[in-house]
Amino acid sequence: MAFTELVFSGVQPTGNLHLGNYLGAIVNFVKMQETHNCIYCVVDMHAITQGVDVWGGPTELARNTREVTAAFIAAGIDPKKHIVFNQSQVAGHAELAWIFNCVARVGWLNRMTQFKEKAGKDRENASIGLYDYPVLMAADILLYRATHVPVGEDQKQHLELSRDIAQKFNNDFADSIRRSGFDDGLFFPLPEPLIMGPATRVMSLRDGTKKMSKSDASDYSRINLTDDADAIAQKIRKAKTDPEPLPSEEKGLEARPEADNLVGIFAALSARSKQDVLREFGGGQFSSFKNALVELCVSKLSPIAGEMKRLVADPAYIDRVLIDGADRARALADQTMTKTKDIVGFIRGQTGPW
Ligand code: TYM
């Protein structure tokens, strides 16, 4: 069966939304609206998978959930034409994750590099939720039978797991899926990752070999979407570079991670290729390139920061967006859950929504 194309993606409300989230994911969320129906989710259930010292507790979680929603809207996502909501409002995410827990294999999860990174040395003390994170992620996507998932490079392995889960579910329940009217035995699509643009992996401004991350102790490692012009300028001027001038060819960026990163950021923000950026700045010193990068960053990010500020000052509006989005998401999710329950053999009563 040809699945109707549908885009789904999510962002965790864990504070410090940064340029990596913006260029690796949100810019592409905005773009996909032109060609597809899109569902964008603030994944508050994923946010609580690490210790409360990481996600900050209830007040912080609610604040961050509203802030990510504001960032979506400020960046240009239209919550009327598309769906914007927070995950915990649609029970199907947790329900489908349970069924997928019984499809996914321990061996598959043991290979997840992000769990190893996040759990660190004290793996025994990590939450079961952190271990199970990628299964919930598969449920997020497949609850809507979404076909395309714009994400940054770091999510590639999780997307592969989502495909494995979809495929194993389709195989395990092939007969039942056919009896439910899907003649080709395919109930879930195998979702495709969309890893697009010149900044799919934005690196730390302090160390070009480390990913730009919400959790880096140094605020100088990242540009936050809420940073003002002065902060952006300071962080870019202090960003680590090397003593060589910029190369004129893209291959000259090899083994120069900091230079590669800054050129990639410039290219992504100006919707040009890295080669094109080097044509302009190649042979020049970092200082003049950095000045141009500051100007570009401020001109692209300041309007978003301003709009985010305006939106978070009106939490009632944000909450209405999330409630309306969740109502529409739930209507779609319920259709998938009804069929999934029939396929698995769960008897459905009269009292529930099904
Ligand atoms: P999160 O909140 O960690 O990241 C949100 C998005 O930002 C991308 N990203 C980056 N891209 C480029 N450079 C970086 N330094 C960088 N850091 C983060 C991430 O790849 C991501 O696209 N697990 C997801 C959230 C999620 C999800 C889903 C995504 C939950 N369910 C279903 C897609 C579909 C995550 O990493 O969130």
DSSP states of 111-147 as a string? T-HHHHHHHTT-GGGS-HHHHHHHHHHHHHHHTTT--
In a domain, residue 352? The reply is no
What does the pLDDT average to over 22-36?
98
Average pLDDT, rounded, for the chain: 96
In a domain? residue 37:
yes
Dihedrals phi, psi of 193, to nearest 5 degrees: -70, 140
Tell me the best of 6, 21, 68, 148 to mutate to test the pocket of ligand 1, counting ligand atoms within 8 Å of each CB and taking the most.
Answer: 21
Matching residue, tokens 């260029």: 23
Nearest CA to ligand 1 atom 36: 155
- Ligand 1 binding site (Cβ under 6 Å of any ligand atom): 8-12, 20-21, 24-25, 43, 46, 137, 140-141, 149, 151-152, 154-155, 158, 200-202, 211-212
Q: What is the DSSP letter of 15?
A: S
Q: How far is CA 14 from CA 41, 110, 144, 168, 222, in A?
A: 14, 24, 24, 32, 15
> Is a pLDDT exceeding 50 seen at residue 245?
yes
Cα-Cα end-to-end distance for the chain: 25
**Catalytic status, residue 214:** yes
- In this prediction, residues 177-192 reach a mean pLDDT of 95
Same domain, 136 and 191: yes
CATH of residue 278: 1.10.240.10
Query: Which ligand 1 atom minimizes the distance to the CA of 11?
Result: 2
Are residues 50 and 178 both part of a single domain? yes
Q: Would residue 210 count as lying in a domain?
A: no
The whole-number pLDDT of residue 1 equals: 56
Residue 278 CB coordination number (10 Å): 23
* 51 and 118 part of one domain: yes
DSSP helix/strand/coil, 18: strand
Residue 304 and residue 338 share a domain: no
Same domain for 106 and 238: no
Residue in 155, 201, 260, 265 to alter for ligand 1 test, most ligand atoms within 8 A of Cβ = 155
32/38 Cα distance (integer angstroms):
7
Q: Tell me, yes or no, whether 44 and 32 share the same domain.
A: yes
Residues 193-217 have a mean pLDDT of 96
The model's pLDDT over 266-304, given as tens digits with 9 standing for 90+, comes to: 999 999 999 999 999 999 999 999 999 999 999 999 999
pLDDT of amino acid 350? 55
pLDDT of residue 348: 86
* pLDDT recorded at residue 2: 76
Mean pLDDT of 244-248: 95
Tell me which of 214, 240, 300, 339 is the catalytic residue.
214
User: Above 90 in pLDDT, residue 92?
Assistant: yes
Query: Average pLDDT for residues 211-232, to the nearest whole number?
Result: 96
The residues near 333 (Cβ < 8 Å, ≥ 6 apart) are: 90, 92, 93, 143, 144
How do beta strands 83-86 and 7-11 pair?
A: unpaired
Q: Say if residues 73 and 83 touch (Cβ distance below 8 Å).
A: no
DSSP-assigned beta bridge partners for residue 7: 38, 148
- The tens digit of pLDDT for each residue in 95-144 reads 999 999 999 999 999 999 999 999 999 999 999 999 999 999 999 999 99
Active site residue 118: yes
Instruction: Domain of residue 288: give its range.
Output: 219-311
Query: Under a CB-based contact definition with an 8 Å cutoff, are residues 332 and 144 in contact?
Result: yes
Same domain, 45 and 140: yes
* Cβ-proximal residues to 67 (8 Å cutoff; 6+ apart), any chain: 13, 15, 17, 226, 308, 312
Percentage of the chain modeled with pLDDT above 90:
96
Residues 191 and 298 grouped into a single domain: no
Q: Is residue 225 part of a domain?
A: yes
Q: Strand order of the sheet with strand 83-86?
A: 83-86, 38-42, 7-11, 148-150, 192-194
What are the φ/ψ torsions at residue 84 (nearest 5 degrees)? -125, 125
The torsion of the CA quartet 118, 124, 126, 132, rounded to 10 degrees, works out to 90
Three-class secondary structure assignment of 182-241: CCCCCCCCCCEEECCCCCCCCECCCCCCCECCCCCCCHHHCCECCCCHHHHHHHHHHCCC
* 132 within some domain: yes
Q: Is the pLDDT of residue 329 over 90?
A: yes
* Same domain membership, residue 186 and residue 58: yes
Residues 194 and 257 in one domain: no
**Same domain for 325 and 294:** no
211 is catalytic: yes
Backbone angles phi, psi at 11, to 5 degrees: -135, 135
Question: pLDDT at residue 352 above 60?
Answer: no
Atom from ligand 1 closest to the CA of residue 151 = 22
Mean pLDDT of 246-263: 96
In degrees rounded to 5, what are phi and psi of residue 104?
-70, 150
Given this model, what pLDDT does residue 353 score? 44
Report in angstroms the alpha-carbon separations of 302 from 30, 151, 180, 204, 225: 17, 23, 52, 20, 8
Split into its structural domains, the chain has a count of: 2
Q: Are residues 226 and 122 in the same domain?
A: no
Q: pTM for this structure?
A: 0.97
- Residue 111 Cα to ligand 1 midpoint, Å, equals 18
The C-alpha atoms of residue 202 and residue 195 are separated, in whole angstroms, by 12
Higher-scoring residue by pLDDT: 76, 198: 76
Give pLDDT tens digits for 139-155: 999 999 999 999 999 99
Distance from the CA of 9 to the center of ligand 1, in angstroms? Answer: 8
* Residue 237 forms part of a structural domain: yes
Determine what percent of the chain is predicted with pLDDT higher than 70.
Answer: 98
- The CATH number assigned to the domain holding 323 equals 3.40.50.620
Let me know if residue 354 belongs to a domain.
no
Quote the longest CA-to-CA distance of the chain.
Answer: 72
Determine, yes or no, domain membership for 140: yes
How crowded is residue 250: how many other Cβ atoms within 10 Å of its Cβ? 18
